[in-house]
Amino acid sequence: MERIPILKLGDLLLVTIQVDMHDRLALTLQDDLTTAIVAHGARGVLIDISALDVVDSFIGRVLGNIASMSRLLSAETMIVGMQPAVAITLVELGVTWRHVRTALNVEQGMRRLRASLDGPRA
């Protein structure tokens, strides 16, 4: 079965979505990611969606749910690289993400995530 790889980078998890997201795949990712957060004790999750051209309300909601679930497992979620068209679509669809932070690209997202994870401790 098709799966989206989850990479471990220290206490962060990196997910880059390179294929068309369909509903089943999104739910599989949700399962895998929550399992991986617990298994590795990850404190941050970075999801790169720069290759996604199309996002529907379901995928939008699943991404939001993943963030809320991660938060319950005490990991922060950063979604990076959203295409302008996707951003407009999500706003038109009225999708609101409460626990998601965003950044323009992986590099920036990584820096922001690091800063906020290291910040409170220092």
Of 35 and 57, which CB lies nearer to other proteins in the complex structure? Answer: 57
Give the separation between CA 83 and CA 105, rounded to whole angstroms.
11
Please state the φ and ψ torsions of residue 78, each to the nearest 5 degrees: -125, 120
Helices (H), 1-122: 23-40, 57-72, 84-93, 106-121
Least CB distance to other proteins at residue 64 (A): 11
Give the separation between CA 40 and CA 10, rounded to whole angstroms.
9
Least CB distance to other proteins at residue 103 (A): 4
Least CB distance to other proteins at residue 96 (A): 8
Of 33 and 109, which CB lies nearer to other proteins in the complex structure? Answer: 109
Least CB distance to other proteins at residue 79 (A): 8
Of 30 and 108, which CB lies nearer to other proteins in the complex structure? Answer: 108
Query: Which residues are near other proteins by CB under 8 A?
Result: 80-84, 86-88, 90-92, 96-97, 102-105, 108-109
Residues 77/47, Cβ–Cβ less than 8 Å: yes
Of 2 and 92, which CB lies nearer to other proteins in the complex structure? Answer: 92
Characterize the bridge pairing of strands 100-103 and 12-16.
Answer: unpaired
